[in-house]
A and B are shown apart, each in its own frame.
Chain A
């Protein structure tokens, strides 16, 4: 247990020591999206009845930032440790696979939540109403970060080089997050693209998270919870298996 706590603390300090880059930068990026999209689109789109586009955009941006940063935290920490070789300091001690996984996961969730809180703080005054279901908000925030944090662990273990990780980020994570209904309600899409969006687990994270704010979404929050929870369970088992078997970590 102390091994887990130590690694968790180390992972928190790792991103916190460079918070300007790991927290402030994504908050600024989200703020820029908010400024530009709400300026361009606020007159034209009303995503849900009674919800302005400006307000609609905020939870999407918060969730997207959380997801991307949770992924970035675990994946970049692992690949850096692997490439510089200092991962050996984690492989020599008697840390269990669960401790190893838990520490990277929880640190990724914390980074995601800190960034999410930051994005919320700078965008909320664009007209976000008071949340109607705070518990849904918390549940989807934690689970969403958990899914992407776990995916980050898998990617960090799998990738041998920075460019492989960058490819994973640019060709898998970015499309999944951008095409998940961050900027639009999928009900506005043509039927084919609507169906495709339903295959994207990130869509359910954002939809469920948004439900917590507005009390309405494209699908039921319970369905979203099931998809996001199921994705998390599957990825977590996979990740634990990889760590336990020593895949790419122990020869």
Chain B
């Protein structure tokens, strides 16, 4: 099957800044994909290149098999982008903005779909309101609707929840998940790593224009992850387990295990030493820890 997005050795330089350095990966149709990285990692540059807002110096990008330069029109028809910056046309109402956006994609009489978008994004009662009069969160919703007027199979959201209240974040994600279940491919960048962790099945991490990691989320978490266990014991920690100990907190010993299978060994040592376990808990690594670790130079 054609990849929803295929990125082949894409490089882009702005003056002395290498914004993208030979980035390659693919996103399959129907995937929920996260693109992560600190500010300046090249996420937005990559999205701009996908959207045809900028042209790569070298390499190719295909959206649903259409080259973003050679077949720009088809590529744009299949892609919906929610830009990061909050932008709007102050001359028009919400409905006007959506009707115009449909028209730019060559779509007439899009009212039924526009009504549905307004409804799903909680904008129905704002349809006649001028864009200027909307709050930031509401403007963001309109931008999501604008990206979807042409029902694109591939949807890219560049930090859609930055500076947006909790309620909108939740309703927005519910809607995006619904789109994903209906078969749309979703790519998102976000600063809220727990969003990427709950929503996405695969993750790419960028740093200084380079692809650092590209993994299935669970795999990334699993093998990046030294797991920690916290033990409250009736007696002292046996000497054989001392090397695993990383710290002590609230009278609990925190041990680091290379693999969760090592837990069995720990419990055996405790039985042998006849030390009673009063409390045991396992801390799963979250994406944030992996992210911080990678961005500080550690490779997974």
Contacts and interface: CB of A to CB of B under 8 A. Distances in A.
Contacts of A5: 103
A190 interface: no
Given A3-B105, A91-B53, A86 B87 contact: yes
A10 B91 CA distance: 9
Interface string A59-94: 000000000000000000000010011101111111
B53 A94 contact: no
Interface string B71-102: 01110110101010101111110001100111
B100 A250 contact: no
Nearest to B99: A6
Interface in B91-122: 91-92, 96-97, 100-108
A44 interface: no
A82 to B, nearest CB: 11
A64 to B, nearest CB: 27
Contact of B104 (A13, A14, A18, A95): A95
B72 A92 contact: no
Interface residues of A, number: 28
A230 B147 CA distance: 41
B55 A2 contact: no
A251 interface: yes
Contacts of A127: none
Contacts of B81: 92
B54 interface: yes
Interface residues of B, number: 36
Contacts of A85: 83, 85, 87
Contacts of B79: 92
Contacts of B108: 2
A246 interface: yes
B146 interface: yes
Given A85-B87, A88-B83, A93 B55 contact: no
Residue from A3, A84, A88, A246 with most neighbouring chain B CB atoms (10 Å): A88
A250 B87 contact: no
Interface string A229-251: 00000000000000000100011
23 contacts: A2-B106, A2-B107, A3-B104, A6-B104, A9-B100, A13-B91, A18-B91, A84-B88, A84-B89, A85-B87, A86-B87, A88-B53, A89-B87, A89-B100, A89-B101, A89-B104, A91-B52, A92-B52, A94-B76, A95-B104, A96-B73, A250-B52, A250-B53
Interface of A: 1-3, 5-7, 9-10, 13-14, 17-18, 81, 84-86, 88-96, 246, 250-251
6 interchain residue pairs of minimum CB distance: A6-B103, A93-B104, A251-B54, A94-B73, A85-B87, A94-B76
